[in-house]
Amino acid sequence: MNNIIQKNIIPKPELGDFLFFYPSKFNLIHKIINRYGGKYVHCGYSLGFNLVISMTFNGVKVEDLNESYYNRKISVYKLRDIDFVEARKLAMFYIDKSFVSKYDYIGLIHFIFPGIFGIPNKYYCSEYLATGLLYLGYLNGPTHLSPTELANSECFEYCYDFTVGLDKKINMV
């Protein structure tokens, strides 16, 4: 039974949570991705302790949510049937891959022109996360997915939305 419960809490994403970011109001790249790729424009993997690892234009970064994403609206998803050991394996995969991974600017064009695929061993944010899911067997299909397409994958279940740094009620399912 999916009851929506109103809670006065500030959520803290846990190790293994997938974070999907809504567009910033005045960011042109976000507007383009939003127009062609869906409602989410960026995604990352929670390492716990308010840290998220994601592919950015400057390569893979581990960032503090409050410092890098203040006032950004985020949806939190969990993998179905994941345990702490698997969440840790996935974190280690993303961390290990961070040393050799670069951003795929060509692949980003895939959102506008779906026939164009990126360069091997270069990734945009959702492709980077999808590669880890493919590696551990949670995803069976292609990794050239927009953040919205990745969030809509059968391996995920939606948990809640929140705005980083704001004390306000959130909806939890």
pLDDT tens string 11-50: 689 999 999 999 877 776 667 676 666 799 899 999 999 9
More confident residue, 166 or 3: 166
Predicted confidence at residue 113, as pLDDT, reads 66
What type of residue is 147?
P
In a domain, 4, yes or no: no
In a domain, 6, yes or no: no
In a domain, 68, yes or no: yes
In a domain, 85, yes or no: yes
Say how far apart CA 164 and CA 67 lie, in whole Å.
9
Predicted confidence at residue 115, as pLDDT, reads 65
In a domain, 7, yes or no: no
In a domain, 38, yes or no: yes
Number of domains in the chain: 1
> HEC states along 71-102?
CCEEEEEEECCCCHHHHHHHHHHHHHHHCCCE
Dig out the tokens for 2 from the structure.
């999916």
pTM listed for this prediction:
0.83
118, pLDDT greater than 80: no
5, pLDDT greater than 80: no
User: Averaged over 47-63, what is the pLDDT?
Assistant: 91
Predicted confidence at residue 84, as pLDDT, reads 95
Q: For the chain, what percent of residues have pLDDT higher than 70?
A: 76
Confidence tier at 2 by pLDDT (50, 70, 90): very low
More confident residue, 12 or 54: 54
**Which positions ≥6 away from 98 have C-beta within 8 Å?**
53, 59, 60, 62
pLDDT tens string 121-173: 778 888 999 999 999 999 997 888 889 999 999 999 999 999 887 755 455 55
Domain limits for position 69:
13-172
Coil, strand or helix: which one is 122? strand
E strands, the chain, are: 5-7, 18-21, 42-48, 51-56, 59-64, 73-79, 102-103, 122-123, 156-163, 170-172
The DSSP call for residue 125 is H
Is residue 173 within 8 Å of residue 158, measured between CB atoms? yes
In a domain, 167, yes or no: yes
CATH code for the domain in which residue 109 is found: 3.90.1720.10
